[in-house]
Amino acid sequence: MNYPSNYRYTKDHEWCELASDTRVKVGITDHAQSSLGDIVYLDLPKVGRELKFHETFGVVESIKAVSDLYSPLAGTVVETNADLISEPNKINASAHESWMLTLESPTAKAQFETLLTAAAYQDFVKTL
């Protein structure tokens, strides 16, 4: 799997895409969706919720497991992807294009830069 080089990644298997200096889109990686299997349910936070770094923001459920979702940075939820609530299997079809939420923070860009690069994430996944 090729991981988008403009994204950053966490060891919890979330990805971030920098949408602006203050906003990032968040989803789960292809590795995560592949490990989970067929995704059947997704729970996301309400818009306006303040998240701390590594705070649980939701749950993804598959036919195999239930997994918590962790915030890759601190910020405020300004948007969620309602399409994924009604069709969570879209994550299986295209994990890196299926964003779950948008976070806003004045330090989003600086926080983004501290996360794993695509190459570092791929190296990490090889160790699992």
DSSP string, 69-116: EE-SS-EEEEEE-HHHHH-TTHHHH-GGG---EEEE-TTHHHHHHTSB
The set of residues, in sequence order, having a beta carbon less than 8 Å from that of 38 and lying 6+ positions away, is 62, 63, 89, 92
Which DSSP category does 30 fall into?
Answer: H
- Express each pLDDT in 5-18 by its tens digit: 999 999 999 999 99
* pLDDT recorded at residue 6: 97
- Express each pLDDT in 36-53 by its tens digit: 999 999 999 999 999 999
Cα separation of 1 and 125, whole Å? 11
Domains of the chain listed by start with CATH number:
7-126 (2.40.50.100)
pTM: 0.95
Cα separation of 105 and 54, whole Å? 15
Core vs surface per residue 101-128: b (16+ CB within 10 A) or e: bbbebeebeebbeebbebeebeeebeee
- Express each pLDDT in 73-102 by its tens digit: 999 999 999 999 999 999 999 999 999 999
Cα separation of 62 and 96, whole Å? 17
Which DSSP category does 121 fall into?
Answer: H
* pLDDT recorded at residue 68: 97
* pLDDT recorded at residue 2: 82
